[in-house]
A and B are shown apart, each in its own frame.
Chain A
Amino acid sequence: DAKTTQPPSMDCAEGRAANLPCNHSTISGNEYVYWYRQIHSQGPQYIIHGLKNNETNEMASLIITEDRKSSTLILPHATLRDTAVYYCIVRVVFYGGSQGNLIFGKGTKLSVKP
Chain B
Amino acid sequence: KAGVTQTPRYLIKTRGQQVTLSCSPISGHRSVSWYQQTPGQGLQFLFEYFSETQRNKGNFPGRFSGRQFSNSRSEMNVSTLELGDSALYLCASSPLTGNLETQYFGPGTRLLVL
Q: Do A and B bind each other?
A: yes
Instruction: Point out the residues of chain A lying under 8 angstroms from B49, CB to CB.
Output: none
Min CB distance, A23 to chain B, in Å? 16
**A-B contact count, CB below 8 Å?**
63
What is the CA–CA distance of A41 and B35 in the complex, to the nearest angstrom? 15
Q: Across the two chains, which residue of chain A brings its CB closest to B92?
A: A43
List B9-63 residues whose CB lies under 8 Å from chain A: 33, 35, 41-45, 48, 55-59
B45 adjacent to A101 (CB under 8 Å)? yes
Contact of A102 among B58, B101, B104 (CB under 8 A): B58
Interface centre among B33, B97, B102, B105 (most CB of A within 10 A): B105
Min CB distance, B83 to chain A, in Å? 21
Instruction: Point out the residues of chain B lying under 8 angstroms from A101, CB to CB.
Output: 45, 56-59
> A68 at interface (Cβ–Cβ under 8 A)?
no
Min CB distance, A47 to chain B, in Å? 9
The 3 closest A-B pairs by CB, nearest first: A99-B98, A43-B105, A106-B42
Instruction: Point out the residues of chain B lying under 8 angstroms from A41, CB to CB.
Output: 107
Interface centre among A42, A43, A98 (most CB of B within 10 A): A43
Hey, which bits of chain A sit against chain B, CB under 8 A? 34, 36, 38, 41-46, 49, 87, 89, 91, 98-107
Min CB distance, B43 to chain A, in Å? 4
Q: Across the two chains, which residue of chain B brings its CB closest to A47?
A: B101
B101 adjacent to A46 (CB under 8 Å)? yes
B45 adjacent to A104 (CB under 8 Å)? yes
In the complex with contacts A43-B4, A45-B105, A100-B100 CB distance below 8 A: no
Instruction: Point out the residues of chain A lying under 8 angstroms from B35, CB to CB.
Output: 104
